[in-house]
Amino acid sequence: MKPLIFFLYSLIGVFMISMSGCYRTYEAVKLNVDTLPSLQTFTDQFKVYLKNDNILIYKNGFTRNDNALKGYYEAYNYNGTLLKVDSTIFLDSISAITQYTETTSGGMYFASAMNLFFGVPLTFLAIYCLACPKCCFGSCPTIYIPSDLY
C-alpha cells in the first residue's frame, strides 16, 4: 500500500511542477493620453506613470472624463511603497499610460497540453532509467564474437 501512496504523491507533485510552466503572456502597449476618447470606460489593467515619478495601478480599468481619469487605483512611489488609494487623477499630471494585453498564442496552449500528456510519463521514465540504467538500456555495448575465433 505504501508504494502506491508514494507513487500517487509523486504523480501529483510532478503534475503540479509541470503545470507551473503554463502561464499567460502579456505585452505592454503605450497609450497616448491625448488620443484616449472622452467619456469611455476602459476595463483592462493599466499602469499610469505620473510626472512626480509615482505609479498608479488601475486593476479594473478607468473612465476618462474631460480632464481626469476616474477609477479605483493604488498609488506607489519609485520604491514600491503604497502611498494611497484614490479614484481620480487629472490628465495634466500624467506622463505615460501602459495597457497590458494578453498575447498568449494557440501554440502555448498546445504546448501546455503536450506537457500535460507527455511530461509526467517521461519524467517517471527518466527517473526510472536513472535509477536502473540496465533496465532501460540493457548491457550495452553487447559485443558478438564470431564462433570461428574460439
Q: What CATH class is the domain 26-102?
A: mainly beta
| Cα–Cα distance measured from residue 106 to residue 118, given in angstroms and rounded to the nearest whole number | 18
Tell me which amino acid residue 140 is.
C
- Domain extents for the chain? 26-102, 105-145
Supply the pLDDT for residue 55: 92
Mark the ranges of the chain whose per-residue pLDDT is less than 50: none
pTM comes to 0.55
Cβ(100)–Cβ(45) under 8 Å?
yes
